[in-house]
């Protein structure tokens, strides 16, 4: 069972909350003792917002996302996800590494979520066609992943998640392994698709820059154990031009604010290790 | 390979200009080289045959033991034109294909199950690990006792050889699927059955095929052994029959047939692989 599906009443049915975590805690057993990855985490994701999460390495951002995706179970606490329709999956994840199936054509990869939900072929093909066009993959519909470049593969990854039409879109550093040029292009494309779908998105990244360019809000996490350090409203107007934005005065202010918070955490985690 | 040559203009030490000039490669072009290599590929075995013939005629090689190419061809061509060779080859091929299927199908099914279900793996692995190293030739007498002297024993000998290789490869194939694909299937809500069909099976197909190819090599080896005893026909039987009659030319004809058979069967497997695994990088 999906860990997000919990008993009624669901606190996220009212208001404009899409995801709510309540006292979410996750611990791991390791040879050197118990490691607390997430510690009493209480966050709210608003419906239709694009929230970015940054934090020092090992702060549990990926663990949080994996719990939301139903790939891992929390140790204690609850997580609620708003469900608007019964035939939509709760989440769809865009993974960081090469996660598109090498044995499927681009078209079948993009339609995978729909196929798993039992969407009729005709309807599936329509959705896939639309997403291929939006991500510039139409010409590659019948190609296999090994024929694609890294950027193209990540486009398939993104298109697959959007095609599944989930309640919440989860992205785990989807552009982290791409080169700078591809990253900028894919950020821009993601913004365009997202703007059209207005899907609630939780986006994890290492890059403060990327978080500010894409997000409505930015959640800065503390070093291990992961807690919320600060939530920052990114009050930059949309639609954003991802290139000229980097020269924007407000952008630079936000950037140094976030960096300040982050470097505190990095220093703190380093001090503890020593 | 392009090379660069430095040329300096003689304008003194102050502002020397260095020109890098692309120098065209001289000598045969790439196409010419490729043709040459193809020619060598064809010529070297031919040369060996000529050498064999010459040495045999000069009595350096004992013709009674090693024969010589011209004599072998004199035996081979009538065998072909009378259809006798093809009849034997066809009988052997049928045994190989039947034995191959009887070994590969349960091998894939069991191998996949062992890869997918740890309890199945835990209970069957000791059996597999302890019986796999037994040389298949060593159990041939047992097979003859159990399956008799008919077709069944020959098919089973090949099947058992193919079975292990395919089983082990199928299991490894499942186990080596990148865990991220399991996450993807789970996240997108794949059912158990959907997971088998969309991830486990296609993900392990390349390894399964590697097992099938190894199995084909073993099948060719085993057909000769299987046709040693109680056979009336087949290429392997031809080899042993020629040995009994001390008919070296006939023996070489059978060996050549075996080589051609093996080559054709591996081509067939490659073609099948291309059809079933179109996503594989080649």
Are residues A180 and A124 part of one domain? no
- Flag residues of chain A having pLDDT under 50: 1-8
Are residues A86 and A181 part of one domain? yes
| C-beta separation of B91 from B226 below 8 A | no
**Record: contact B188-A92, CB cut-off 8 A:** yes
d(CA A190, CA A193): 5
Question: Domain for residue B68, yes or no?
Answer: no
Secondary structure E strands in chain A: 17-30, 33-41, 44-46, 50-54, 76-81, 91-94, 168-172, 200-204, 217-221, 228-233
| C-beta separation of A100 from A153 below 8 A | yes
Per-residue pLDDT, B2: 39
Q: Per-residue pLDDT tens for B66-121?
A: 899 999 999 999 999 999 999 999 999 999 999 999 999 999 999 999 999 999 99
Domain count within chain A: 2
Are residues B139 and B55 part of one domain? no
Are residues A160 and A24 part of one domain? no
Are residues A84 and A3 part of one domain? yes
Say yes or no: ipTM exceeds 0.85. Answer: yes
Residues of B in Cβ contact (< 8 Å) with A93: 183-184, 187
Are residues B112 and B173 part of one domain? yes
Instruction: Give the mean model confidence (pLDDT) for residues B231-248.
Output: 91
Residue range(s) defining the domain that contains residue A127 = 99-165
Are residues B88 and B49 part of one domain? no
Are residues B172 and B99 part of one domain? yes
Question: Domain for residue B66, yes or no?
Answer: no
Per-residue pLDDT, A14: 65
How close B71 comes to chain A (CA, Å)? 52
Are residues A240 and A227 part of one domain? yes
d(CA A156, CA A134): 11
Instruction: Give the mean model confidence (pLDDT) for residues B199-214.
Output: 95
Could you write out the three-class secondary structure of chain B?
Answer: CCEEEEEECCCCCCCCCEEEEEECCCCCCHHHHHHHHHHHHHHHHHHHHHHHHHHHHCCCCCHHHHCCHHHHHHHHHHHHHCCHHHHHHHHHHHHHHHHHHHHHHHHHHHHHHHHHCHHHHHHHHHHHHHHCCCCHHHHHHHHHHHHCCCHHHHHHHHHHHHHHHHHHHHHHHHHCCCHHHHHHHHHCCCCHHHHHHHHHHHHHHHHHHHHHHHHHHHHHHHHHHHCCCCCCCCHHHHHHHHHHHCCHHHHHHHHHHHHHHHHHHHHHHHHHHHHHCCCCCC
**Record: contact B279-A98, CB cut-off 8 A:** no
Output the CA angle A264-A268-A274, nearest 5 degrees: 145
pLDDT at B3 over 70: no
Are residues A86 and A113 part of one domain? no
Residue range(s) defining the domain that contains residue B13 = 4-61
- A108: nearest CA in chain B? B198
Question: Domain for residue A268, yes or no?
Answer: no
**Record: contact A116-B189, CB cut-off 8 A:** yes
Question: Domain for residue A266, yes or no?
Answer: no
Q: Per-residue pLDDT tens for A93-125?
A: 999 878 999 999 999 999 999 999 999 999 999
Instruction: Give the mean model confidence (pLDDT) for residues B240-265.
Output: 93
| C-beta separation of A112 from A101 below 8 A | yes
Computed over every residue of chain B, the mean pLDDT equals: 89
Per-residue pLDDT, B12: 47
Are residues A76 and A17 part of one domain? yes
């Amino acid at each position: 069972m999906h860990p997000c599906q919990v008993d009624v009443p669901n606190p996220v049915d009212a208001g404009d909350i899409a995801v709510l975590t309540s006292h979410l805690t996750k611990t791991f057993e390791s040879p050197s003792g118990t490691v607390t990855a997430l510690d009493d985490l209480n966050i709210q994701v608003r419906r239709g917002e694009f929230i970015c999460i940054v934090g020092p390495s090992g702060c549990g951002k990926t663990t949080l996302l994996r719990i939301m995706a139903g790939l891992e179970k929390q140790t204690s606490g609850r997580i609620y996800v708003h469900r608007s329709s019964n035939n939509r999956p709760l989440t769809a994840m865009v993974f960081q590494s090469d996660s598109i199936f090498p044995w499927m054509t681009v078209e079948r990869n993009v339609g995978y979520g729909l196929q798993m939900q039992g969407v009729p072929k005709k309807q599936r093909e329509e959705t896939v066609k639309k997403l291929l066009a939006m991500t510039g993959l139409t010409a590659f519909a019948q190609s296999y992943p090994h024929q694609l470049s890294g950027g193209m593969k990540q486009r398939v990854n993104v298109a697959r998640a959007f095609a599944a039409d989930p309640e919440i879109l989860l992205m785990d550093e989807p552009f982290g392994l791409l080169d700078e040029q591809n990253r900028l292009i894919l950020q821009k494309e993601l913004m365009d698709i997202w703007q059209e779908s207005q899907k609630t998105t939780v986006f994890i990244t290492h890059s403060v820059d990327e978080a500010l360019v894409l997000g409505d809000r930015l959640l800065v996490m503390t070093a291990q154990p992961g807690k919320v350090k600060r939530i920052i409203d990114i009050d930059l107007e949309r639609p954003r031009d991802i290139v000229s934005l980097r020269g924007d005065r407000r952008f630079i202010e936000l950037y140094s604010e976030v960096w300040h918070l982050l470097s505190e955490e990095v220093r703190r985690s380093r001090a503890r290790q020593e | 390979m392009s090379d660069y040559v430095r040329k300096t203009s003689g304008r003194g030490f102050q502002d020397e200009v260095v020109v890098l000039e692309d120098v065209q490669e001289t000598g045969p072009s790439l196409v010419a080289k490729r043709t040459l290599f193809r020619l060598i590929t064809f010529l070297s075995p031919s040369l060996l045959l000529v050498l064999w013939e010459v040495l045999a005629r000069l009595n350096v090689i004992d013709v009674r033991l090693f024969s010589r190419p011209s004599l072998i061809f004199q035996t081979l061509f009538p065998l072909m034109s009378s259809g006798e060779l093809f009849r034997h080859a066809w009988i052997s091929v049928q045994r190989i294909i039947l034995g191959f299927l009887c070994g590969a199908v349960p091998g894939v099914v069991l191998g996949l199950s062992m890869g997918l279900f740890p309890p199945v793996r835990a209970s069957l692995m000791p059996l597999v690990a302890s019986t796999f190293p037994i040389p298949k030739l060593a159990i041939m007498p047992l097979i003859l006792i159990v399956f008799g002297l008919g077709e069944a024993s020959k098919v089973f000998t090949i099947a058992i050889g193919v079975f292990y290789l395919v089983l082990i490869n199928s299991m490894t194939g499942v186990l080596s699927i990148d865990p991220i694909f399991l996450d993807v299937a789970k996240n997108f809500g794949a059912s158990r059955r959907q997971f088998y069909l969309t991830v486990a099976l296609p993900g392990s197909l390349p390894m399964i095929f590697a097992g099938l190819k190894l199995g084909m090599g073993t099948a060719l080896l085993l057909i000769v052994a299987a046709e040693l005893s109680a056979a009336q026909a087949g290429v392997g039987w031809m080899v042993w029959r020629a040995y009994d009659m001390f008919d070296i030319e006939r023996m070489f004809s059978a060996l050549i047939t075996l080589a051609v058979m093996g080559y054709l069967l591996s081509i067939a497997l490659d073609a099948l692989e291309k059809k079933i695994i179109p996503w594989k990088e080649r």
